[in-house]
Structure 1
Amino acid sequence: MNWVRMPLGPIQTNAYILSNDEKFCLIFDPGSEAIKLNTYIKEKSLKPLAILLTHAHFDHIGAVDKVRKEWDIPVYVHKNEENWLTDPSLNGSALLTGQNITAEKADNLLEKEEDLEIGPFKLQVFLTPGHSPGSVSYYLEDENLIISGDVLFKGSIGRTDFPGGNHEVLLNSIHKKLLSLPENTLVLSGHGPETDIMTEQEENPFINGFTL
């Protein structure tokens, strides 16, 4: 399995492309710059199967429609945020950018923690709310990595001052779902560089000392 991080847009939101040796791939959080993302996929001769969203804030959905239409692939998002894709007042774009950033409705709604099989890819969906009510993380156990969106960053955690955010809920999500993973699990975050569970357990000042 191969993965690439592609920071996109004015606040450099990380999109991720996971691919296998047969060139099939999954796209996570295409937040902006659809041309850049689609061009990379074409240059690498990849075959996209789906778009998976960790959550539906504007900076994670801005390129969804152009990428979806280019490759004719389905979009996954949590049910709690199905309306955020179409509503700028919910996804934060109207408030924070003064623009109406939207996407068409998702094709598949996630409602519970479950195993997903999309082509050759096997993922576990973890419900990790707190940054937003429908935040999810995608865990690939065989690859020893988790795509956490804006839940956990290198040395930091997601903001909780947006509508629907909750600091205590976020910390519970981090401790119960992410920090329970093997210490060498790679964390692919929504912004900034990758990290791993051990590093955050030992060094992250936002989660050290928190008790459930």
Structure 2
Amino acid sequence: MKITQISEHIWSLKIWMLIPIHVWIVKDEDGVTLVDAGIPFMAKGIQQFIETLNAGPLKRVMLTHGHGDHTGAILKILNVTQVPIFAHRIEIPYIEGELPYPRRKKAAISIPKQITQALPETNQGVLQTMGGLTPYLTPGHSPGHVVYYHQQDQVLLAGDLFTAKKGELRKPMAMFTADMTEAIRSSSIVREIKPLRLEVCHGSSVLQPANQLDTYLKS
């Protein structure tokens, strides 16, 4: 597992399984947040790094969405540390296997029922900041996909909203994307937020991503 500090409060943990798979550790005053949980054998490396970091205990796991390469280590982590797991309320029926993801024939359980909690939101549907991360609903790759913005570090953890190669924004992987048109619409969050840095699960870091958005939309 390759560990890279990408900003003052955020570390990327990466493995290769034909393609790169990233998860992120975010430290805050009250401990550590894990964004996405990769695949099962990443669990031990994630836990060891949190201990080495010595920034407090794991407080929560926040998911961008519920595909297996983002949820795989959760049960192993929960065997060691009981922490809340959060995803967007729209995503939870797909995570729990009540509904099949769009374009898939069968529903599949990523996480057993009654483990995943809905990200807290106001009565107006505004998602609330936790652990220094503000979620934004960005559907398309999956119905309840979200990205997380760390305002202090100006880093956007974008999950599978994009892929990236050599620092350039690319579209999410078509074969796993429920609605590519919607996913491309959701990319406008980058123009709204204008992060200094964008991180994806599958690919490289992207600096000043808003400057690339017009080119991305034309590709």
On whether the aligned pair clears a TM of 0.5, the verdict is yes
Report the equivalent of 2:153.
Answer: 143
Among 163, 172, 178, the residue aligned to 1:158:
172
Report percent identity of matched pairs.
Answer: 21
Gaps (5+ residues) in structure 1?
none
Distance 1:201 1:82 in 2: 30
Shift of 1:84: 2.9
2:25 to 3, 13, 17: 17
1:53 is matched with: 63
1: CA distance, partners of 2:96 / 2:192: 34
Match of 1:178 in 2: 190
Structure 1 outlier segments of 4+, above 4 Å: none
Give the C-alpha shift of residue 91 in structure 1. Answer: 6.3
TM-score, scaled relative to structure 2: 0.76
Aligned length, in residue pairs = 195
Tell me, in whole angstroms, the C-alpha distance in 2 between the residues paired with 1:170 and 1:161.
13
Superposition TM-score, scaled by structure 1 size: 0.79
Q: Hey, what's the Cα distance between the residues in 2 that align with 1:18 and 1:190?
A: 15
* Bigger Cα displacement from structure 2, 138-147 vs 127-136: 138-147
Q: What's the CA shift for 1:9?
A: 6.2
Task: Map 1:45-124; keep pairs closer than 5 Å.
Answer: 45-46=54-55, 47-87=57-97, 90=100, 102-105=110-113, 106-110=115-119, 112-117=125-130, 121-124=131-134
Q: C-alpha separation between the residues in 1 aligned to 2:61 and 2:93?
A: 17
Q: Distance in 2 between matches of 1:191 and 1:143?
A: 21
Give the whole-Å Cα distance in 1 for the aligned partners of 2:112 and 2:79.
11
Query: Does the 8 A contact of 2:86 with 2:118 survive in 1?
Result: yes
**Would you say the 8 A contact 1:153–1:191 is kept in 2?**
yes
Give distance in 2, aligned partners of 1:191 and 1:126: 19
2:138 and 2:147 in contact (8 A); partners too = yes
Deviations 1:8-45 (A, max 9, x none): 4624321100114x582110111122111112112223
What residue in structure 2 maps to residue 39 of structure 1?
Answer: 48
- What is the match of residue 33 of structure 2? 26
Checking the alignment, whether the CA contact within 8 Å between 2:12 and 2:23 is kept in structure 1 is yes
How many Å apart are 1:54 and its aligned residue?
Answer: 0.2
Q: In structure 2, what is the Cα distance between the partners aligned to 1:148 and 1:17?
A: 14
CA change 1:199–1:153 in 2 (3 A) is farther
CA distance in 1, matches of 2:176, 2:80: 31
Whole-Å separation in 1 of the counterparts to 2:15 and 2:100: 21
Gaps in structure 2 of 5+ consecutive residues: 1-7
- What SS does the aligned partner of 1:26 have? strand
RMSD: 2.8
